[in-house]
Amino acid sequence: MSWPWSQLGLPGPSGLSEVRHAYAEKLKTTHPEEDPEGFQRLHSAYQLASRMARQQKREGGAPQPERPPQPTSKPPRPQEISFDELLQDGGEAPHRPREEDGEQDFDFDELLQGGGEAPRRPREGDGEQDFDFDELLQGGEEAPSRSREEEEGQDWDYERLFAEGEAERAEARRRRGEERRRAQAQARAWARERQKANEWTRKREYWQQRSTYDRESRERFSQEEVRWQSTETILHTLEMLYNARAPLEEWKKFFASPLFQQNKNNLDLIFGMEDFVSTKQMPQEIKLALFLAYGFDKGPSQPELRPLYQMLLPAWRESQKGKVHERNIVILGVILGLAAPFVLVPLLDMGLISALCVSLGIVWIAWVIRKVVKTGSMEKRARGGKVSKKEELRTMLGFGLAVAMLLVLGWLRSNPGRDWRDLLPTKDPRELTCRYIRQDFGVEVHSLYNLDELYANNNYGNVFYVGNDPDSRRFLAGPDGERDKKNGKPGYSTNLPEMLLLWELRKFAQAHKMTPVDALDQGLERWETTGTFLITLPLSGGEEIIRDLGELLDELHEEKWYKSLAQRCTLVLCSQEMEEGRVVLIRTQPGLTVYSAEQCLGIYEESFVHKCCAQIIKELGLDWDFLREEGEHYTLTNEGRAKIKGHECVKLFGLNEDGAVAMEYYIYPKERNIYCVPGNFWETGNGEEQISFYRLLYWGDRGTFNLFYPWIKSN
């Protein structure tokens, strides 16, 4: 399809009525004010097509030109003309392309202007007749008469066509307006729905808050009711203990119970305790126990407790006087014990030290007996009984206890390693734990909780330390039931053996300039451990580390604490952490199995390095045809070691799915060099001189590797 019919939407040269109909249809969508350039092109195309249609009709079926005139590349740009002139079918016609490819075209500009020289008619032998377009356009006398159809076409109603186009555009604007109104109505409906949703949300939040308030009110009421019930229970229990004349231990047990300790600062209970103490004739021992239960030895903790504190203070002062008296008796007994060997000369035959021990032991036994008798007397008095002084003295004359003390001293002489502090009585569970650990492991330990008030106020109740430096080596320990070593009950629980092994391994790693021992203790305190210790071995030169580690474990095997590791500790010799985990050389439990350095060396030399290198090749993406980056992944096999470029390298083969050697790998871990050659590299007469640096490989955040690949000889 060519211009001008393509502009009118016609398939080719058409009749005048078809041209006019197509032009009328195009005018409905092409308005001169909205698209002036498009209208100019449409009108020019219409003029040219109309003239050509008239010419064809006048010729009356004469043969048409072989090819209608058309532009070479694109339709000519019509010149701008006014819309009024176009309606009058006057004015200048747009410029037409000139004659091309040996074909003659008409100069329509001259025809429309009505001036100039008429176009040259062909000679008589050409067989074609041309028309005088000057006469046609000027309406001369000899112009051919127009048919009725042409004259009717001259009166085409352009205003009606423009009116129809304007009506269609108005209808389109009306439809767009209706769509906007529908969209606005929909938006208003959505806004109403959102407003309703917001209102329901506010109502729901209000009722949720209301339900939360009601629940909290019920909880407060329930807590108040529980406090009232606890207060009534405590006061009723005190009344029962008083009426039953319960022993002092029962009072102390009740004062130490969770029921009393959790509610002792309750204001209602404080007022009830004031009434109880002021109206009852309570023994001094019970008042003292109540005084200590409230912690009044450090002063009242709140103002509401001051009246009760004043009521119980006399019992505390009396007990302090009794302590001073007991201290004086102890001092007197020590003096007598030190002077007894010099008074009783036969004791000196045992030696001065032994004599002093015996005499002081006798004094101590006497003091213990007196203490026990005094305590029993206080218990009887607390229950309302009476104990005379004579009865106390008779009880103190238990000579058999002195004989028992001599046996104990003899036992101490036969056990010089026993610490004398272990014979002193204590009620502190942490001190008992320290004594048990010293007896079992032979290690001097202390409680961090008892060291200073700063640690006591910062939840260090189960933290202990080794030696005399509390900031160096810390561990966890705590009492755990009664001590019965025959039945495997040490009386405490601790992670000291694991921590001692961890400290020794860390010193070992530091001495060998290794990666620090990884205890898998991320997120734990420095006195805690999981019991799994990782020893990171290098890919080359790890033989000395394995031998020295065996010697260290043999030395530690003689320690008492090392044998108690049992199943709680695991030692793992492995590679450094890779993207897909670690390669494990050996995993052992020091408390159950014996570490064999020779076995570890055999595994290290035969397979460990090859497994690590195979893992590295996989993570670097070299276990397939990395030149083309296609095909299946190879199966890596251990082929021992080989010498490449003067280096002793780890040798691996990459087998394809057929089992053939597709790639050979030689890894030199010390310098991080990887030499890769095709499977048939050596068989085809190639040599090491062809292997050169290929590229640098990045192994995540673990460093880089140098990849070497050969230049292959062409056959």
Residue 84: is its pLDDT beyond 50?
no
* Cβ-based burial of 564 (10 A; exposed 0-12, middle 13-18, buried ≥19): middle
Mean pLDDT of 74-89: 42
For the sheet with 570-574, list strands across it.
Answer: 532-536, 570-574, 584-588
Lowest mean pLDDT among 4-13, 543-552, 706-715: 706-715
Q: What local confidence, expressed as pLDDT, does residue 385 receive?
A: 62
Mean pLDDT of 393-414: 57
Cis peptide before 4 (omega within 30 of 0): yes
Residue 88: is its pLDDT beyond 50?
no
Q: What local confidence, expressed as pLDDT, does residue 602 receive?
A: 86
Mean pLDDT of 440-463: 78
Mean pLDDT of 448-471: 78
Angle between the N-to-C axes of helices 496-511 and 429-441, in degrees from 0 to 180, rounded to the nearest 10: 60
The two tokens of residue 62 are 């004469």
Q: What local confidence, expressed as pLDDT, does residue 637 receive?
A: 92
**Antiparallel, parallel or unpaired: β 532-536 and 673-678:** unpaired
Q: What local confidence, expressed as pLDDT, does residue 416 receive?
A: 47
Dist CA 371 CA 377 (whole Å): 10
Q: Give me the DSSP letters along 535-586.
A: EEPPSSS-HHHHHHHHHHHHHHTTSHHHHT-GGG-EEEEE---BTTB--EEE
Each residue of 319-375: pLDDT tens digit? 777 677 767 777 777 777 677 666 554 455 455 676 677 677 777 767 776 776 667
Dist CA 564 CA 587 (whole Å): 18
Mean pLDDT of 532-561: 86
Mean pLDDT of 232-254: 86
- pLDDT tier for residue 677 given thresholds of 50, 70 and 90: very high
Residue 512: is its pLDDT beyond 70?
yes
- pLDDT tier for residue 213 given thresholds of 50, 70 and 90: confident
Dist CA 549 CA 512 (whole Å): 10
Rg of the chain over all Cα atoms, to the nearest angstrom = 57
Nearest to 666 by CA among 646, 695, 686: 646
Lowest mean pLDDT among 175-189, 411-425, 618-632: 411-425
Residue 251: is its pLDDT beyond 90?
no
| Better pLDDT: 327 or 296 | 296
The two tokens of residue 506 are 């860390």
Mean pLDDT of 415-431: 60
Q: What is the DSSP letter of 691?
A: E
The count of other CB atoms within 10 Å of the CB of residue 594 is 10
Q: Please, are residues 272 and 310 in contact by the beta-carbon 8 Å criterion?
A: no
Residue 638: is its pLDDT beyond 80?
yes
Mean pLDDT of 603-609: 87
3-state secondary structure of 637: strand
- In the block, tokens 């740009």 appear at 77
Residue 103: is its pLDDT beyond 50?
no
Residue 592: is its pLDDT beyond 80?
no
Q: What local confidence, expressed as pLDDT, does residue 495 receive?
A: 87
Dist CA 186 CA 697 (whole Å): 61
Residue 563: is its pLDDT beyond 60?
yes
Q: What local confidence, expressed as pLDDT, does residue 174 receive?
A: 83
| Better pLDDT: 570 or 111 | 570
| Better pLDDT: 579 or 156 | 579
Dist CA 216 CA 228 (whole Å): 18
- Nearest 5°: the CA angle 552, 558, 559 is 95
**Antiparallel, parallel or unpaired: β 445-447 and 463-466:** antiparallel
Nearest to 645 by CA among 669, 620, 624, 666: 666
Q: What is the DSSP letter of 367?
A: H
Range from 130-144, 359-373, 471-485, 646-660 that averages highest in pLDDT: 646-660
Mean pLDDT of 538-559: 86
Q: What percent of the chain has pLDDT over 70?
A: 71
Range from 26-40, 122-136, 260-274 that averages highest in pLDDT: 260-274
**Antiparallel, parallel or unpaired: β 474-479 and 584-588:** unpaired
Q: What percent of the chain has pLDDT over 90?
A: 6
For the sheet with 635-644, list strands across it.
Answer: 635-644, 647-655, 661-668, 673-678, 704-710, 691-698
- pLDDT tier for residue 208 given thresholds of 50, 70 and 90: confident
| Better pLDDT: 407 or 394 | 394
Residue 448: is its pLDDT beyond 70?
yes
Dist CA 512 CA 517 (whole Å): 12
Q: 265: alpha, beta or left, given left = phi > 0 and alpha = psi -120 to 50? A: alpha
- pLDDT tier for residue 567 given thresholds of 50, 70 and 90: low
Q: Please, are residues 649 and 627 in contact by the beta-carbon 8 Å criterion?
A: no
Nearest to 365 by CA among 328, 329, 404: 404
Dist CA 50 CA 153 (whole Å): 10
Q: What does pLDDT average to over the chain?
A: 75
Q: What local confidence, expressed as pLDDT, does residue 651 receive?
A: 93
Residue 96's alpha-carbon distances to 9, 76, 117, 120, 137, in angstroms, are 20, 7, 17, 17, 17
Residue 596: is its pLDDT beyond 70?
yes
Mean pLDDT of 25-39: 81
Q: Please, are residues 465 and 446 in contact by the beta-carbon 8 Å criterion?
A: yes
Mean pLDDT of 59-69: 50
Torsions phi, psi of 167, nearest 5? Answer: -65, -40
Q: Give me the DSSP letters along 189-218.
A: HHHHHHHHHHHHHHHHHHHHHHHHHHHHHH
